[in-house]
Amino acid sequence: MFLADTVIQLAYDPGITPSDGGLPGLSVLKQVMGSLNLFGIITAVGALAASAAVWAWGHHSGGHQAEANGKKGVMVSAGAALLLGAANGVVAFFSALGTQVH
């Protein structure tokens, strides 16, 4: 009987859903997150430019280690820009996917 009670407790739906405007300061928090996202994108642009310069310098000077590090930097900064730009969509997708779990 103890196992059945545990399963019933796990299946209990508390009925909690995200609500907009539940706490004061939500608009300020949204502005801060938007600013941090923009700062990250601008940083990714700078990292991409620096990494591309290292890649080119390594290629033309024969520095294979610098060339490899430049390539890695380009890929990492491009991936970071992709994730930062898609942050809202990624979170919204997984949030909507999470609401379908019963």
Residue 45: closest CA among 81, 85, 82, 84: 81
pLDDT exceeds cutoff 70 at 65: yes
pLDDT exceeds cutoff 70 at 1: no
pLDDT band at 6 (very low <50, low <70, confident <90, very high): low
pLDDT of residue 17: 76
**Alpha-carbon distance 3 to 54, whole Å?**
61
Q: What is the residue type of 55?
A: W
Q: What is the residue type of 51?
A: S
pLDDT of residue 18: 76
pLDDT of residue 12: 67
Give the model confidence (pLDDT) of 70-87 as tens digits. Answer: 999 999 999 999 999 999
